[in-house]
C-alpha cells in the first residue's frame, strides 16, 4: 500500500476513498483528506510476510479487526494462580513455624539447661530479611534489570533459561518431598550420605531425576504453544519454596521491603522512559530483543478466547514480595491463636486480591499498556495490615517484635527448678 520513496513527491498512498494522490501540496491547494492505514501484526505473521516479500511472492493481505472480549479469561486464571500460590505458601510457612516451635518447647521441657538461652525460632535453613537487605533490594534488582536490558540476546536468554531450570528443579523437588513425605514417611526419614551434598533422603533421591527431566523437557520445548504449563508449574514451585525459606521477621522490615519494591516497580515501568526512551521493565518482560516470547521469570497464560491471541503475564515479584508479608501475617495469627476474622491474614489476602484485580482493570483501561502491579498491590496489602494493627492496638508489637507476647510455662518451671538447685548447692544467686 506504500511505494518505496525516491523523494517526497514520489510517494503514492491510498486513502479510504481508493484515490491516488501525490504527497505534495501546491501553494493554492487546500488540505486533502488523506488517510494512512497503520497495521500491527504478530511477530510470526510479520516474519512470514517479510519472507514472502523477499522471495518476490505474490502477497495478498486481508485486514480484519475483531472485537476483544470484555473479560480476559487468562487474567482471571492468573488472578486465581497468584492467590492460590500465596495461600499455599503462607499455610506451609505457618505450619513449619508452628512445628518448629512445638519441637523447641518439647526439647526445652526435656533439657532446659542446654536450651535456656536459645531463641524459639526453629530457624534452621530459614533466612530472615533485615532492613538493610530490604533497602539493598532496589539497588541489586535495578542492576540486574539493567543487565538484562543491555545484554538481552539469544545467549543471555539461554543463560536465564538454565538458571530458571535450576531454581525450578530445586523448588519442585522441595515441594514434592514435603507433600509426599506425608504418605512415604519412611522414605522421607531415611537418609543416605551423598558426596558434595551430605545426607539426602531416599525420597529426595527418587524425585530428583523426575524434576530434572521435567525441567529439561520444558527447556527443549519452551517455544511450543503448550510450554506455558511447564513454566507455570516450575515458577509456582519456585515461589512457594522461596516463601518457605525467606521470611519477614516483623512489620517494620516488611514495610521497608514493600515500599522499596513499590518505588522500584513505578520507576522501571514509567519513569525509565525518560532515560531509555522505552519502558525497561516491559521490554525485558516481553523479550522484545530476542526470538523468545518473554523471559522465564513470570507466570503466563494464553488468551484462549481472544481472537488477537497472545499471553497475559504476571511477574514473580508481584507474587513473591507481597507474599512475604502475607505469610508473616498468618504466622503471627497462628502464634497468637487468632481466629480467621480476628487475625490479619484473611484481610491481607482480600487486600492483595483487590489490588491485583485493580491492576488488571487498569491494564484494560490503558489499552493493554503495561502496568506496575505493585503500584496497586502494595497500598492495598500494606495499608490494610498497618491500619488493622493500629486500630487493634497491636501495631507496636507487630512493628518491632513480630511475635505475639507469650509466656512459656516450661521456661518458668525450669527457672524455678534451677534456682532451687543452686540454693541447695550453696551457689550464689548473683551468678545467675
CA distances to 171, 205, 239, 405, 408 from 336, rounded to whole Å, are 30, 38, 26, 8, 13
Q: Identify each DSSP E strand in 248-297 by its residue range.
A: none
Given the C-alpha cell 514509567, which residue does it identify? 270
Which pLDDT belongs to residue 78?
94
Task: Check residue 150 and give its pLDDT.
Answer: 84
- Residue 368 in this model has a pLDDT that exceeds 90: no
Which pLDDT score, from 0 to 100, does residue 304 have?
Answer: 81
Beta carbons within 8 Å of 323's beta carbon, 6+ residues apart: 85, 86, 89, 90, 239, 243
Kindly report, residue by residue over 369-404, the tens digit of the pLDDT: 778 899 999 999 999 999 999 999 889 999 988 887
**What share of the chain has pLDDT > 70, as a percent?**
79
pLDDT in tens, 57-87: 777 777 777 777 777 888 999 999 999 999 9
Taking the mean position of all CA atoms in its chain, how far away is CA 427? 57
Q: Burial, 312: exposed, middle or buried (Cβ in 10 Å; 0-12, 13-18, 19+)?
A: buried
Helix, strand, coil in percent for the chain, rounding step 5: 60, 5, 35
Mean pLDDT, to the nearest integer, of 307-315?
A: 82
Backbone CA torsion sign across 136, 139, 141, 144: negative
Query: In the predicted model, what is the mean pLDDT of the chain?
Result: 80
**Burial, 258: exposed, middle or buried (Cβ in 10 Å; 0-12, 13-18, 19+)?**
buried
Distance from C-alpha of 425 to C-alpha of 18, rounded to nearest angstrom: 109
User: Residues with Cβ < 8 Å from 19, sequence gap 6 or more?
Assistant: none
How confident is the model at residue 26, as a pLDDT? Answer: 60
Residue 263: is its pLDDT beyond 90?
yes
pLDDT digits (tens, 9 = 90+) for 99-142: 887 777 777 666 555 554 544 444 457 888 999 999 998 889 88
The catalytic site residues sit at 265, 318
Pick the more confident residue, 277 or 243: 243
* Whether 236 contacts 81, CB under 8 Å: yes
Structure confidence at residue 113 (pLDDT): 53
| Per-residue confidence (pLDDT) for residue 33, from 0 to 100 | 66
- Return the pLDDT at 211: 94
Residues 6+ apart with CB under 8 A from 245: 125, 126, 127
Round to whole Å and give the CA distance between 260 and 273: 19
Look at residues 366, 370, 364, 361 and name the one whose alpha carbon lies nearest to residue 283. 370
For the beta carbon of residue 337, count every other beta carbon within 10 angstroms.
Answer: 10
Instruction: Find the mean pLDDT for residues 177-184.
Output: 86
User: What pLDDT score does 214 carry?
Assistant: 96
Residue 292 near residue 313, CB atoms below 8 Å? no
The helix/strand/coil state of 34 is coil
pLDDT for residue 422 is more than 80: no
Better-scored residue on pLDDT, 145 or 420: 145
- The percentage of residues in the chain with a pLDDT greater than 90, rounded to a whole number, is 34
User: Taking residues 282-296, what's their average pLDDT?
Assistant: 74
Helix 345-365 to helix 317-335 angle (10° resolution) is: 160
Residue labelled with grid coordinates 523477499: 54
**Residue 428 predicted with pLDDT over 60:** no
Residue 286 clears pLDDT 70, i.e. is over it: yes
- Residue in 107, 83, 54, 35 with CA at minimum distance from that of residue 357: 83
pLDDT at 252: 93
**Cβ-contact 122, 388 below 8 angstroms:** no
Which has more pLDDT, 71 or 20? 71
Question: According to the model, what pLDDT value does residue 3 have?
Answer: 36
pLDDT at 22: 47
Q: Is 320 left (phi over 0), alpha (psi -120 to 50) or beta?
A: alpha
d(CA 335, CA 317): 27
Confidence category of residue 18, pLDDT binned at 50, 70, 90: very low
Which of residues 328 and 340 earns the better pLDDT score?
328
Predicted pLDDT at 423: 43
Specify the pLDDT at position 110.
63
pLDDT at 102: 79
Q: What are phi and psi of 425, to 5 degrees?
A: -90, 0
CB 130 within 8 A of CB 253: yes
Amino acid at each position: 500500500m506504500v511505494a518505496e520513496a525516491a523523494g517526497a513527491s514520489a510517494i503514492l498512498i491510498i486513502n479510504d476513498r481508493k484515490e491516488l494522490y501525490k504527497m505534495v501540496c501546491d501553494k493554492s491547494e487546500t488540505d486533502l483528506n488523506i488517510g494512512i492505514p497503520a497495521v500491527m501484526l504478530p511477530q510470526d505473521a510479520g516474519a512470514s510476510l517479510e519472507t514472502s516479500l523477499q522471495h518476490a511472492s505474490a502477497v495478498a493481505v486481508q485486514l480484519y479487526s475483531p472485537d476483544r472480549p470484555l473479560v480476559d479469561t487468562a487474567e482471571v486464571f492468573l488472578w486465581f494462580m497468584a492467590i492460590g500460590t500465596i495461600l499455599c505458601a503462607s499455610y506451609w510457612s505457618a505450619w513449619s513455624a508452628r512445628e518448629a516451635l512445638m519441637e523447641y518447647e518439647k526439647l526445652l521441657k526435656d533439657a532446659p539447661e542446654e536450651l535456656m538461652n536459645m531463641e524459639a525460632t526453629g530457624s534452621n535453613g530459614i533466612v530472615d530479611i533485615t532492613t538493610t537487605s530490604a533497602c539493598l533490594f532496589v539497588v541489586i534488582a535495578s542492576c540486574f534489570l539493567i543487565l538484562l536490558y543491555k545484554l538481552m540476546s539469544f545467549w543471555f536468554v539461554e543463560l536465564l533459561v538454565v538458571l530458571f531450570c535450576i531454581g525450578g528443579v530445586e523448588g519442585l523437588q522441595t515441594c514434592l518431598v514435603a507433600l509426599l513425605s506425608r504418605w512415604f514417611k519412611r522414605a522421607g526419614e531415611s537418609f543416605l550420605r551423598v558426596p558434595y551434598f551430605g545426607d539426602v533422603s531416599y525420597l529426595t533421591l527418587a524425585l530428583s531425576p523426575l524434576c530434572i527431566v521435567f525441567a529439561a523437557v520444558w527447556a527443549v520445548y519452551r517455544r511450543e504453544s503448550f510450554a506455558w504449563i511447564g513454566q507455570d508449574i516450575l515458577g509456582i514451585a519456585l515461589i512457594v519454596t522461596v516463601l518457605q525459606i525467606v521470611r519477614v521477621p516483623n512489620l517494620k522490615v516488611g514495610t521497608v521491603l514493600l515500599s522499596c519494591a513499590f518505588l522500584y516497580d513505578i520507576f522501571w515501568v514509567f519513569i525509565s522512559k525518560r532515560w531509555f526512551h522505552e519502558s525497561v521493565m516491559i521490554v525485558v518482560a516481553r523479550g522484545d530483543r530476542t526470538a523468545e516470547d518473554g523471559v522465564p521469570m513470570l507466570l503466563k497464560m494464553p488468551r484462549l478466547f481472544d481472537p488477537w491471541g497472545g499471553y497475559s503475564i504476571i511477574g514473580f515479584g508481584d507474587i513473591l514480595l507481597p507474599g512475604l508479608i502475607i505469610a508473616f501475617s498468618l504466622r503471627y495469627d497462628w502464634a497468637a491463636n487468632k481466629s480467621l476474622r480476628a487475625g490479619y491474614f484473611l484481610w491481607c489476602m482480600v487486600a492483595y486480591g483487590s489490588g491485583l484485580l485493580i491492576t488488571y482493570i487498569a491494564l484494560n483501561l490503558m489499552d493493554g499498556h503495561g502496568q506496575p502491579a505493585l503500584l496497586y498491590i502494595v497500598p492495598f496489602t500494606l495499608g490494610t495490615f498497618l491500619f488493622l494493627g493500629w486500630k487493634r492496638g497491636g501495631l507496636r508489637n507487630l512493628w518491632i517484635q513480630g511475635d505475639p507476647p507469650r509466656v512459656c510455662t516450661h521456661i518458668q518451671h525450669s527457672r524455678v527448678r534451677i534456682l532451687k538447685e543452686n540454693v541447695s548447692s550453696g551457689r550464689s544467686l548473683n551468678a545467675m
